[in-house]
Structure 1
Amino acid sequence: MAENAGKWPAMTIEEAHAFLTSPGTPFEMETVEIRGVPIRTYKNTPRSLRAIFDLGRAFGDREFIVYEDERLTFENHYRAATAFGRVLQDKYGVKKGDRVALIMRNFPEWSIAFWGIAAIGGVVVPLNAWGTGPELEYGISDSGSKVVIVDHERLDRLRPHLKALGLNGLVAVRTPDAELGVAEAFETLVGKASDYAKLPADPLPDPGLDPEDDATIFYTSGTTGKPKGALGTQRNICTNLTNALLGGARAFMRRGEMPPAPDPNAPQRVTLLSVPLFHATGCHSILVGTYASGGKLVIIHKWNPEQALELIERERVTSFGGVPAMVWQVLESPDFATRDTSSVESIGYGGAPSAPDLVARIKKQFPKCHPSNGYGLTETSAITTQNLAEDYVAKPDSAGVAVPVVDLKVVDEKGNELPRGQVGELWIRGPNVVKGYWNKPEATAAAITEGGWFHSGDLVRMDEEGFVYILDRAKDMLIRGGENIYCVEVEDALYAHPAVMDAAVVAIPHKVLGEEVGAIVQVAPGKQVTEEELRAHVGKLLAAFKVPIKIEIRHEPLPRNPNGKILKTVLREDMKKYEGYRAA
């Protein structure tokens, strides 16, 4: 990168990482043995969630959570979480290592329960709030959770399954007394939010947690079979916090500037929470990161770009994001021009491919904003690569470079490492990789092989600087007559058209070629485009065999899971009706 007016020439990635992680720095690294493998770790990372929980109390009367008209300070949140931890211990017999399931939408009580469980050394099992009754029963039973915390809607789904589960305790949040049944009201056990300040201030007993102790079980949404519980450690989740902090510092070093020292009097960072807390991004990166840094978390009841803009203006939000589609919806909202968005300084997203055009649009509509993108999985405890600030503007189609404690390699089908620039599966090793899958030794052995390498299942290429380009899921890649077609490449071409807000490329079965390229797009509000125009547009950017033979145009959002990823399994079923179709 070019020199600027900073104190030194801008650094390469390697130079910035070496400087930031050198001995004596906050990000100093050391090598420790984890499950028999020497792994680089951050020497100064907190040892456990309990350590982070105790440190967060120092922010006192500063606001921590805003939900609609409710406001919760750090001190009152600490007292409520501590009170709930005592309930778990004294009433329900929860001990260090016991699993507690957490199933609700993004309410303030989600955070209170999470930190209460973590503070006593319990293992938090956040289950997908969109799950059906049988799916939730499976997650509770498979994890062996002793206690379950639910909201009103999840309680109704679980009622037919409660007898089979045989729980020690069932706690319901925001549920009318008349509908509790066998559940006990959170408000009865802990108190109403207005009374949190009256709760005891004494800390909980120290559970004696080590970095390799279990912390979380997040269930992955597999395409076949039952979901698998990714068993995360204290080190996994705490490492993610340090990775996030280092990324921001690296952006300064890349510009040739010294990262600013922490300023306790600086304005509070305000983050709009737009993704579920029951996924790694929402929990590890946003909840834990906001709590540890003394930020404010603004919870939106249900994602809506117009309400998001209202909250950005009202709460002076400094950071928001989610998946790329959410950012597009804000940028394209008819309310955008009427709202004051000048407080926004950063927009970050991941969890799904993003079109290179998105960076330019962000810089145009948020001139002082630093956009960022990243890559990670449930099994890597969120952050694995980061693409930030000027690097992202320079390489908008990349998911960034690995954080310093993570090793990456791109391999062929036999596991042989490939030269830079070639396409293969991404393997990942580091202190962020989970122990394995709960009670599934065979699945663990298949996913994490000798040397601690986790097989991501993602097809990527890596350039000479180490920037990773996500091309597709290995199992989702289209093969048309023997030619590999990476869905992301075609989706990027569609995104480049100004009328396209969202796009998904899926296979259309073909009896001779095997698969043909199909696409579904959502048109931006107020825009019009025909299928013929889109096919011609893609044809100018890509080879003819990559042009979709059918593009279905929609005006409603594409189906997504709770983490914002497009449900291509649903769309593949939709597109089967075009088997045998020929484009005009």
Structure 2
Amino acid sequence: MSVRGEGLVGPGGPFEVVRGEDGRLEYLNAPRTLVEFVEATWAHGDRPFLVGEDRTWSYREFFAAATALARRFTAEYGLRPGERAAVLMRNRPEWQVAFWAAQFAGLVAVPLNSWWTEGELAYVLEDCTPSVVLVDGETLSAVRSPARRGGARVVVFRGRAEEGVERYEDFPAPDPHGAPPAVEVRPEDDATIIYTSGTTGRPKGAVATHLAQAGAAVHPRFHAAVGALARGQVPGTGPAPVALMTYPFFHVAAFTHLYAVMAAGGTIVLMRAWDADTAVELIDRHRVTHWSGVPATALQLLDAAERAGNPLATLVQLSTGGAAPPPVLPARLAERYGTRVEPRTGYGLTETSGGVLAHAGDAYRADPAAAGIPAPAVEVRTDERGELLLRGQSLVRGYWRDEAATAAAFTPDGWFRTGDLATVGDDGRIAVVDRIKDIVIRGGENVYCAEVEGVLHGHPAVADAAVVGVPHPVLGEEVAAVVRLRPGAEATGGQLREYAGARLAAYKVPAHVVFGDVPRGATGKIAKRELRESVAGRGQERVTRTV
């Protein structure tokens, strides 16, 4: 079987695809709305679904709560399909209740980034004009005023009642036999507006239809099936996964892993905030089999397990997303755990509704620089610059009320311009080289920051690294690296440059090495704009002295 898994996608296969009316590939035998997808998981009944800090929710309890809240939206609030429901909470079980209640009611769910400032939140609320805002007690103060100005109802979970704010815990207990409201949800209806991180300016709301999100829910099932066949197993057999979710729920990478676990009737163990030592303890306590998170936290998890001498005995898969992983990651896993813990990575964007490429197991160990193979309902090509273009079912329809941004991001025939440079191998595997804007052009030579960062991550003293360009009067730019060392480790800038020089062409070796923290956003991506301004602000003389 090829890497595309023809036995799975051919005629009559479980992941067969067809051309939709708009020319894009679509899954033939799969749910076409998120409501259809979630209703297919009702059969999981009393299996544990969401494990929070203080209680565990079964699938049955979750459905009862979500359908009751959906009926409140329609019957008591009078909300109609297409109105927006903003969700701003930490990773609590109630986040999922709020999100899926919006889907049952035909509302458009708008997950909000809990790391945003009050100003950023106010901007997004004004942009999407929600009819209801669902928050927890920790985040209420950040949105109370803009939500009221916009005329939105506010519901607080785990918070105190106050004027103009309804307390979820005061609502009637959910009817365990209650049904969702009688609302028609169509594949072409909008399901979500997920705002981009805003690293290049104001956040833009990427709008995904139900058909797009339903396609995104199928992608991880396909990649799991390919992985099972590669291991000599029958797809869909074996115990249901127990997954430790460390992605913030507002991020598309969380959706990818949530969909996979829900489809299998698995359990999601939640972390309200990331802590590596706590994660090790939770893996033991709940016998976690699958871990998912950004590469930076994956490396922290491995460090914490090594410090504690903990073998992570129940873990069988460690999956990263949200940012490019350093090539050293699968090697570290193999060195400590052999083939017992399967490494997995992939590629996806807000605009693709989550992961569309995946790379796992022996293939990942052999080629750690690749991002993987595309899902069946995803087409891939590169243009004359080498930019990766994508088209398929899970792509968003555009940006919320921003025709200019939509036209700039999509070709007339529906291909999305990712902004990433990539290569396509003879076997169909995709390697994402770097962001187009994340290249240092040194004397006419292109230096891909991700490549240099990956090499620096391989040094035993390096905990984190980021590479940016700094101005040079003759070369135009030079390569600068910001490095955070492991606790107790020692290394000089000269030693790191020597290490990189043994593995990279001379023009790629950082001319400057700065020691300090690497700023990252909530999704794990390096805040390059902030970092570039910080390094440039030091001045070249000062930067040089830090090495």
* TM-based fold match above 0.5: yes
> Against the structure 1 CA distance between its residues 511 and 91, is the aligned structure 2 distance closer, same or farther, given a 3 Å change threshold?
farther
Distance 1:181 1:512, change over 3 A: farther
The answer for the alignment partner of 1:217 in structure 2 is 193
Q: Specify whether residues 205 and 580 from structure 1 end up closer, same or farther in structure 2 by C-alpha distance, changes over 3 A only.
A: closer
1:138-159 CA distances to partner (integer Å, 9 max, x unpaired)? Answer: 2122112111111123211123
What is the match of residue 359 of structure 2?
387
Quick check: 153-162 or 77-86, which moved more?
153-162
Out of 515, 529, 545, the position equivalent to 1:569 is 529
What residue number does 2:331 align with? Answer: 360
Contact between 1:331 and 1:365, CA under 8 Å: does it hold in 2? no
What do residues 251-273 of structure 1 show as CA deviations (whole Å, max 9, x unaligned)? 34446x4x52534xx43311101
Residues 218 and 229, structure 1, Cα contact 8 Å, conserved in 2:
yes
Aligned-pair CA distance for 1:222: 3.0
1:209 Cα deviation after fit? 2.1
Deviations 1:196-227 (A, max 9, x none): 5xx24121134222222211000012333321
> Is 2:283–2:312's contact at 8 Å kept on the other side of the alignment?
yes
The 5-angstrom pairing of residues 314-333 of structure 1 reads 314-333=285-304
- Whole-Å separation in 2 of the counterparts to 1:287 and 1:244: 10
Contact 1:80 1:190 in 2 (8 A): no
CA shift, 1:335, in A, is 5.7
Q: Could you report, residue by residue, the CA deviation over 1:385-425 in whole angstroms, capped at 9, with x for unpaired residues?
A: 11121211111111112222211111125xxxxxxxxxx11
Cα deviation digits, residues 12-38 of structure 1 (max 9, x gap): 224x2x21112222212222113xxx1
Distance 1:13 1:572, change over 3 A: same
Q: Deviations over 1:235-294 (max 9, x none)?
A: 211112211111122134446x4x52534xx43311101011001111x21223322321
1:351 is the counterpart of 2:322 = yes
RMSD, aligned CA: 1.8
- Counterpart code for 2:154: L
1:12–1:254: 8 Å Cα contact kept in structure 2? Answer: no
User: Residue 463 of structure 1: CA displacement?
Assistant: 2.2
- For 1:80, which of 56, 65, 68 is the aligned residue? 65
Q: Is the 8 A contact 1:92 1:147 kept in 2?
A: no
Higher mean Cα deviation, 425-434 or 516-525? 516-525
Matched residue, 1:435:
397
Q: Are 2:211 and 1:235 aligned?
A: yes
Q: How does 1:15-414 map to 2 (within 5 A)?
A: 16=5, 18-34=6-22, 38-167=23-152, 169-177=153-161, 180-189=162-171, 191=173, 199-254=175-230, 257=232, 259-260=233-234, 262-263=236-237, 266-282=238-254, 284-333=255-304, 336-367=307-338, 368-413=340-385
Give the direction of change, closer, same or farther, for the CA distance of 1:323–1:66 in structure 2 (3 Å limit): same
The amino acid across from 1:297 in the alignment is I
Residues in 2 aligned to 1:505 and 1:190: alpha-carbon distance in whole angstroms? 54
1:12 aligns with 2:24: no
| Letter paired with 1:170 | V
Q: Does 1:516 align with 2:481?
A: no
Aligned amino acid, residue 23 of structure 1:
P
In 2: Cα distance, 1:261 partner to 1:244 partner: 12
1:492 partner amino acid:
G
1:295: Cα distance to partner?
A: 0.8
Identical aligned pairs, as a percentage?
Answer: 40
Q: Give the Cα separation in 2 of the matches to 1:481 and 1:578.
A: 22
SS state at 1:106 partner: coil
Question: 1:303-341 CA distances to partner (integer Å, 9 max, x unpaired)?
Answer: 011010000010000111211111111111266544351
Residues 390 and 525 (structure 1), Cα distance of their counterparts in 2 relative to 1, 3 Å cut: same
Change (3 A) 1:120 1:159: closer
Q: Partners in 2 of 1:223 and 1:565 — Cα distance?
A: 10
Q: Which moved more, 1:361-370 or 1:107-116?
A: 361-370
Taking the aligned partners of 2:377 and 2:93, their CA distance within structure 1 comes to 33
Q: CA deviation at 1:109?
A: 0.6
> Which residue of the partner structure matches residue 453 of structure 1?
415
Q: Is the 8 A contact 1:275 1:564 kept in 2?
A: no
The normalised TM-score by structure 2 is 0.95
> Cα offset for 1:347?
0.8
Q: Matched residues in 1 for 2:357 and 2:121: separation?
A: 31
Aligned pairs, how many? 543
Structure 1 segment 552-563 matched on structure 2, within 5 A: 552-554=514-516, 558-563=518-523
Q: Could you tell me the TM-score, scaled by structure 1's length?
A: 0.89
Distance in 2 between the 1:310 and 1:355 partners?
Answer: 25
Tell me whether 58-67 or 335-344 shows the greater mean CA deviation: 335-344
Gaps of 5+ in 2: none
Q: Distance in 1 between matches of 2:235 and 2:402?
A: 45
Tell me the secondary structure at the aligned position of residue 371 of structure 2: coil
* Cα contact 2:220–2:259 (8 A) shared by 1: no
1:489 equivalent among 429, 451, 456: 451
